[in-house]
Amino acid sequence: MAIERTLSIIKPDATRRNLTGAINQRFESAGLRIVAQKRLRLTRERAEAFYEVHKERPFYGDLCAFMTSGPVVVQVFEGEDAVAKNREIMGATNPAEAADGTIRKDFAESIEANSVHGSDSAENAKTEIAFFFSDGEIVG
Ligand code: CMP
């Protein structure tokens, strides 16, 4: 296993319910370090660019509208096997399929309002981290 970095987003359904601390606690207690973090409101253009890979999917428009509906918290996590560990702690995309004890099982409202996003590979993590953070904003 290697020390990796991954991008996490706490989504508008979770910031609306004041769950930022509760969600961060799950990641930190599993050994991931939050080495960068900021709260911001995505514009429609930025949401569309971030999720461009899903452009042809039927849920793309609704997803971009949801992601601009309130503040998000974008974060960089660092740790052993951070990409896979983050995904394990989040649980399956659809909360109905998420394992017990995962963030999405416990907090998600729906497949769209599923509380958190995490990069799905080390390669995508690099692109997604660079989308939100400059090198100087990441303090390991
Ligand atoms: P996320 O990990 O942010 O990546 C894409 C998002 O699209 C996903 O989480 C969900 O919030 C959202 N989404 C909405 N509908 C679907 C769907 N049917 N399948 C996959 N993702 C969906």
Which atom of ligand 1 is least distant from the CA of 11?
3
Cβ atoms of 27 and 85 within 8 Å: the answer is no
Catalytic residue among 5, 11, 104, 117: 117
Strand partners for 117? 9
Q: pTM for the complete prediction? A: 0.98
Tell me the CA–centroid distance for residue 62 and ligand 1, in Å.
Answer: 10
The two three-digit tokens of residue 47, written as one number: 């949401």
Catalytic residue at 117? yes
Give 10-residue mean pLDDT values along the chain (140 residues).
95 98 98 98 98 98 98 98 98 98 98 98 98 97
**93 ligand 1 Cβ < 6 A:** yes
**73 ligand 1 Cβ < 6 A:** no
For residue 1, what pLDDT is reported? 72
How far is it, in rounded angstroms, from Cα 89 to Cα 83? 10
For residue 60, what pLDDT is reported? 98
pLDDT digits (tens, 9 = 90+) for 32-52: 999 999 999 999 999 999 999
By DSSP bridging, strand 116-118 and strand 72-80 are: unpaired
